[in-house]
Amino acid sequence: MTSPRFDLARRQTRLDELRAAHHVPGASLAVLTEGSIHEMASGVLHRGTGVEVTTDSVFQLGSIAKMYTATLVMQLADSGALDLDAPVIGVLPEFATTDPEATRTITTRQLLSHTSGLTCDFIQDTGRGDDCLARYVEAAREVPPDGPPGTFSYSSVGYNWLGRLVEVLTGQVWDQALKDRIIAPLGLRHTMTLPEEALSFRAAMGHLGESGKDPDPVPAWDLMPRSAGPYGRVIAGAADVVRLAKLHLDGGVAPDGTRLLAPGTVAAMQGWEADCPDRWSVSSDGWGLGWSLYDWNGVRGYGHDGASVGQYAYLRVVPEAGVAIALLTNGGSARRLYDALFRELLGELAGVRMPEPFGPPARPPVVDVTPYLGTYRRAGVVITVSERAGTPHLTYAFVEGMADFHPPLEMDVVPVSGTVFAARGDGSSVSEDWMPVVFATLRDGTPCAYMAMRAAPKVG
């Protein structure tokens, strides 16, 4: 499929309009189509200073960092240093969970595809030293998993284990391995991992605030510890994010002809590894080896989303059209901006018809919620499902290391189907309109509730 000629002036005007309409302070957009990367910028990096966003500005990518780690891991698999289907403990003796059987059996493939059962939101600041990742995973050994191996549950902890795997097999800290094996070969001049490196660039400040209003700058920039690197701590410009996607579109070959991944490895990363029970939080239909996978009415694609404190990033790739789009933002109704902008761009450039935003039907079905009442818990979060005046209600409380992250969320829920409910969001980028709540059963028969693609087992 070929795409129409890219009208940069028209696209810039549309970005400006949509960004302002959705109260996003600043945005950077890069679009790969017909072999060329087109760059646009709009708004300001910081509403307090008024410094404008430029195409060379850098933003925090949040979980899009996982794709950099996945690419590193697959390079090691290419080299023969790693068997994706062998137990992790065979090459990383320090690997452990609170479940001895899981410790013995979890594979690298399961870590890549979020099917290890390991949890997500374990926050641990282990300092700025080069041993920060080793110290993080040592602490993570004591964190209960969300479910047995084979359970799909989006896992940042799993990606930090992958980062540690990279360190052990390369003899380098994760940051340096990323520089030497991906950043330098791809010529990514606006990609880095440490805050002091970002000082050389125009860096975006995150913003938070009420929905429908201009948000305010967050109190501090880059609140993630260094140990968050493999799962969430890459800083980059939009065009550099697209260049990473182009590596995968080009079958693993860098612009200078250097092969960084084997063609079969690139294809394997885009292959279907797991269904995603929560198909709405990031509009994913399934998961590959790192990539979130999409089926847009028969047009397949892949990508990833990311979020840090007040910054939100989106990457989508349509291989049959040769299209890749990266949008980086610093607050406001970023999810709505993404939906409006990508709906237009993917439709016009790649023939994609994106699904409508998640929400309850006009006439919700009648569902007996009695089997779902109770308490669900995973590391950092307690979910309580109850009834208030005959209406299903959900309390989402942050605990343990997440206790200071946000006050508890109180949400009435509306049935979408017999197992899927819609909870009214509180204004965050992920759940500004409706947040999906999916009730399911783990592989060991334990009932669970999925929110934000994370499984929380029922405990009471």
CA–CA dist 282, 357 (Å, integer) = 10
CA–CA dist 36, 288 (Å, integer) = 26
CA–CA dist 91, 79 (Å, integer) = 14
Could you tell me which residues come within 8 angstroms of residue 361 by beta carbon, excluding any fewer than 6 positions away? 416
Please report, in angstroms and rounded to a whole number, the separation of the first and last CA atoms in the chain.
53
Q: Compute, in degrees rounded to 10, the torsion defined by CA atoms 230, 232, 233, 239.
A: 110
Q: Of 63, 156, 227, 283, which is the active-site residue?
A: 63
**Residue 63: active-site member:** yes
Tokens for 244, please give them: 């990473």
For residue 272, what is the DSSP state? -
Could you tell me which residues come within 8 angstroms of residue 160 by beta carbon, excluding any fewer than 6 positions away? 133, 136, 137, 140, 227, 228, 230, 231
- How many CA within 13 A on the CB side of residue 46? 12
CA–CA dist 448, 440 (Å, integer) = 5
How far CA 232 is from CA of 224, 227, 246, 308, in Å, comes to: 8, 9, 21, 8
**Which residues form the catalytic set?**
63
